[in-house]
Amino acid sequence: MVTGGAGFIGSNLVVRLVGEGAVVRVVDAMLPLLGGNPFNLAPVKDDIELRQVDLRDLSAAQSAVEGMEYIFNLAGNVSHLDSMQEPLTDLTINVNAQVNTLEACRAKNRDAMIVYTSTRQLYGVPQYLPVDERHPVSPIDVNGINKLAAEHYHTLYARVYDMKTCSLRLTNTYGPRQLIRHARQGFIGWFVNRALLGEKIQLFGGGGQKRDFTFVDDAVEAMLVAATNPVCRGEVYNLNGERLSLEEVARILLALCPKASVEKVPFPPEKKKIDIGDYFGSAGKFIEATGWGAHVTVADGLAKMVEYYRANQSHYLEKP
């Protein structure tokens, strides 16, 4: 089962799972501002069971988890900005739905292996780089607090109830099927939107901020590794990827979409207050445990992304 399986990362995982011969149940509430998009699942629509249900409903969660051997728990709200404007909505999506899923498994399916997509956002402003799992957690926005709580629930259910869970702290993940129609889910999707349409890519504060970037296929591989390697049970791991500044990312896009341009602008105050500055992580713990590695360069990943949207643009610029 993939929760949030019609969204960006979830749908890429579903396509990979179907390709591997898995029997897949997709659970997604198709919440309006988030990345769920029926077109994301078009290549596999006849090969999956799709349930449009909201995991904030415990009985829906209980029926969804029954019979599932592996549960990839990706349902979530990604927007940091929205979490500040509607903290209670973020709380219900990022915490209530997660506790429901765990409680549903405790009652109906204790043997399932659950992989949860946590986030590097819970570290807050880094005290040192690269950030490893020993770095203190100190979220600077509501989204980070709620994702941290949900991660702790997963670890607690492993420790107290002997359930099989693993949390992966994803960093900036990008690729085909990502939401690009608005700017509320982070900058990469929006940069790609501006580049495709030949518009200005705005760099807040100059664009010197460094981040690390995981192409979605590498993130999907990490989830499969975490699900199937027993050493990962009860653990929490960082993922990582190539390190670049936001300006370097924009310049790669300009080379792919020459009609676009770059503009350096001051940071909007509401965004500056929840910006973590430079961040890049160490995935050493996960690499040592499993041998996983992020292999796709940002140049190659963005080229694949632009190619995908050039072929399928109409499905991503309007609300599905």
Residue 179 interacts with ligand NAD (CB under 6 A)? yes
Residue closer to ligand NAD, measured from CB, 130 or 261: 130
Across the strands, what pairs with 113? 70, 164
The Cβ of residue 223 has, within 10 Å, a number of other Cβ atoms equal to 27
Structure tokens at 184: 């509320």
Residue closer to ligand NAD, measured from CB, 92 or 261: 92
Interface segment toward ligand NAD; rule CB under 6 A; list 68-76, 124-132, 197-205, 229-237: 68-76
- Please work out the total of residues on this chain that contact ligand NAD, with binding judged by CB under 6 A: 31
Query: Considering the complex, what minimum distance in angstroms separates the CB of residue 218 from ligand NAD?
Result: 12
Fill in the DSSP letter of residue 138: -
- Interacting residues with ligand NAD between 108 and 167 (CB under 6 A): 117, 119, 147
Residue 36 interacts with ligand NAD (CB under 6 A)? yes
Across the strands, what pairs with 51? 27
Query: Considering the complex, what minimum distance in angstroms separates the CB of residue 156 from ligand NAD?
Result: 18
- Interacting residues with ligand NAD between 253 and 282 (CB under 6 A): none
3-state helix, strand, coil in the chain (%, to 5): 45, 20, 35
Backbone dihedral angles phi then psi of residue 143, each to the nearest 5 degrees: -55, -45
Among 14, 34, 115, 122, binds ligand NAD (CB under 6 A): 34
As a whole number of angstroms, the distance between CA 292 and CA 73 comes to: 20
As a whole number of angstroms, the distance between CA 215 and CA 254 comes to: 19
Cβ(33)–Cβ(238) below 8 Å: no
Among 83, 109, 165, 172, binds ligand NAD (CB under 6 A): 172
Cβ(260)–Cβ(191) below 8 Å: no
Interacting residues with ligand NAD (CB under 6 A)? 3-4, 6-10, 27-31, 34-36, 54-56, 74-76, 78, 93, 97, 117, 119, 147, 170, 172-173, 179
